[in-house]
Structure 1
Amino acid sequence: MNFEKLEVWKRSARLSAQIYKITADLRDYGFRDQLTRAGLSVPSNIAEGMTRDSNKEKRRFLDIARSSLSEALTQIYIGIEIGYINNDTGREWVIESKELHAMINSLKNSIATE
């Protein structure tokens, strides 16, 4: 399967890019690094998983992508709470993260278990 055609990959890559752009000037390097790494992990693991030969591996990488998304979502909530992330942007990212979570689940469920 060509991961580049997957809407979940496109949207997660877009979210990751937005996270990088919006947090570029954040001086808390530890927070920024953790959030950008978690965000980058989502489309990266979708891509890696969808190029694996076995369905078991595909599903495993989608699990990792989903876990990274949950990590990023947690950091987004914290970033909003401590004033690092603007409320409107944060709410958009929360909504997008929840939709991506459902999309990853759906994709994973569409892949037969071995």
Structure 2
Amino acid sequence: MSGIKRFEDLVAWQKSRDMAATIYKTTGEGSFSKDFALRDQIRRAAVSVMSNIAEGFERKGSKEFHQFLVVAKASCAEVRSQLYVALDVGYINKNIFEHLYESSVEVSKIISGLRASVAKQCE
């Protein structure tokens, strides 16, 4: 972490940014775009991931950053849960579901690794 000066340099943030953009594009199409509650909820969850990474990083304290990463990882799970609803009601097909699901899992794993690194700094 010592070599990272900006949250934009964190792979976790970069990948979560990509995921959020894809979620926005996907939810802006077809029937999904008309389900305002689910559309807005999954968008908020996706944006929460990248926002919590950024906010935690800027706090400049390892313990605080760790807690924000916990929240970011939880938001990844929220995205995955909402993807199931979108699949089940026919807003997205299996291919789109799998792509977005895997993207969320990847981001979650990267956040886990970052959390482990930050936790070592807290000791």
- The TM-score range, normalised by the shorter chain, is over 0.9
- Consecutive unaligned residues in structure 2, runs of 5 or more: none
CA distance in 2, matches of 1:94, 1:68: 13
Instruction: Decide which of 45, 50, 53 is 1:43's aligned counterpart.
Output: 50
> Which structure has the bigger radius of gyration?
2
Partner of 1:113: 122
User: Are residues 1:9 and 2:18 paired?
Assistant: no
Instruction: Decide which of 87, 90, 96 is 2:94's aligned counterpart.
Output: 87
Partner of 1:70: 77
Cα RMSD (Å): 1.1
List structure 1 runs of 4+ shifted beyond 2 angstroms: none
Q: Deviations over 1:77-108 (max 9, x none)?
A: 22111111222111011111111111101001
Question: How many correspondences in the alignment?
Answer: 114
CA apart distance, 1:2: 1.3
Partner of 1:34: 41
SS of structure 1 residue aligned to 2:122: coil
TM-score, structure 1 as length reference: 0.94
CA apart distance, 1:16: 0.4
